[in-house]
Structure 1
């Protein structure tokens, strides 16, 4: 299993996995839209996409978006997406991706990685806790749909 930064050359494989990720979160399959979305991320370089590959096949990914902490005046990453192909789950792939994200964050001066997951996603919560992530209860998170 190898984990590396994805590039434009991986667009087709990652798009298929990204589409399945969206379906996992009860969205309609739309491979063309998934491809267009990721193509735009690559073109604008506005996210970091790490992929896990097994024998040349991309089997998992995590996508990180840059943000900043005004208080610390340092960069922050928002880990928005983490997905592993069903056949490769429970084999440490998600942990490899998370560790690669942490290592890259340290190498690039990122002060923290933030993430959120559904309350029902017990497997993800267990993974995050095992890697040292803590639930941040001192802040209320709000969202406005526009």
Structure 2
């Protein structure tokens, strides 16, 4: 299920997105999270898919589409994947990933990429079972532009 700021599950996704931020040590900021997420979706920078069971959102996946310059195509990047801890190990993350891979394939994307922490054994196990492979020879770097 795709999520848009004007659709009912948006509030549930935004609440879960704020819980995801808290999970990673950031302070809760429900209003700011809701505004930021709505802005990203409306601007087309993020696509969001909700994992819904029994009418409630229990997980979400965000993705962005990037140019695959050398091959003159597109690549999809999974940015965030989170399942409420009370609903983990129930197949929600797998369903979300399979859904986004199917969408990317249907859109003609050349690949779907994601990243996670090297010690996230549960996620790495799921990703490799679904066919994702490590990219040898690449190293992630970043340049912080502001504090925080």
TM over 0.5: yes
Q: What's the counterpart of residue 23 of structure 2?
A: 24
Q: What's the counterpart of residue 141 of structure 1?
A: 140
2:61–2:80 contact (8 Å) kept in structure 1: yes
Quick one: distance in 2 between partners of 1:87 and 1:116?
23
- What RMSD in Å do the two structures reach over aligned CA positions? 1.0
Show the 5 A alignment for 1:33-44: 33-44=32-43
The CA deviation at 1:114 is 1.2
1:6–1:49 contact (8 Å) kept in structure 2: yes
Q: What's the counterpart of residue 51 of structure 2?
A: 52
Q: What's the counterpart of residue 3 of structure 2?
A: 6
2:4–2:42 contact (8 Å) kept in structure 1: no
| Consecutive aligned runs of 4 or more in structure 1 exceeding 6 Å deviation | none
The CA deviation at 1:65 is 1.0
1:15 counterpart = 2:14? yes
Quick one: distance in 2 between partners of 1:133 and 1:18?
24
Quick one: distance in 2 between partners of 1:98 and 1:53?
14
Answer 1 or 2: higher relative contact order, Cα 8 Å, separation at least 6.
1
Quick one: distance in 2 between partners of 1:49 and 1:126?
23
Quick one: distance in 1 between partners of 2:136 and 2:32?
35
Q: What's the counterpart of residue 120 of structure 1?
A: 119
The CA deviation at 1:29 is 1.2
User: Once the two structures are superposed, what CA deviation does each residue of 1:108-139 show, in whole Å capped at 9, x if it has no partner?
Assistant: 11111111101221111111011000011222
Equivalences, count: 143
Quick one: distance in 1 between partners of 2:118 and 2:22?
18
1:51–1:62 contact (8 Å) kept in structure 2: yes
Structure-2-length-normalised TM-score: 0.92
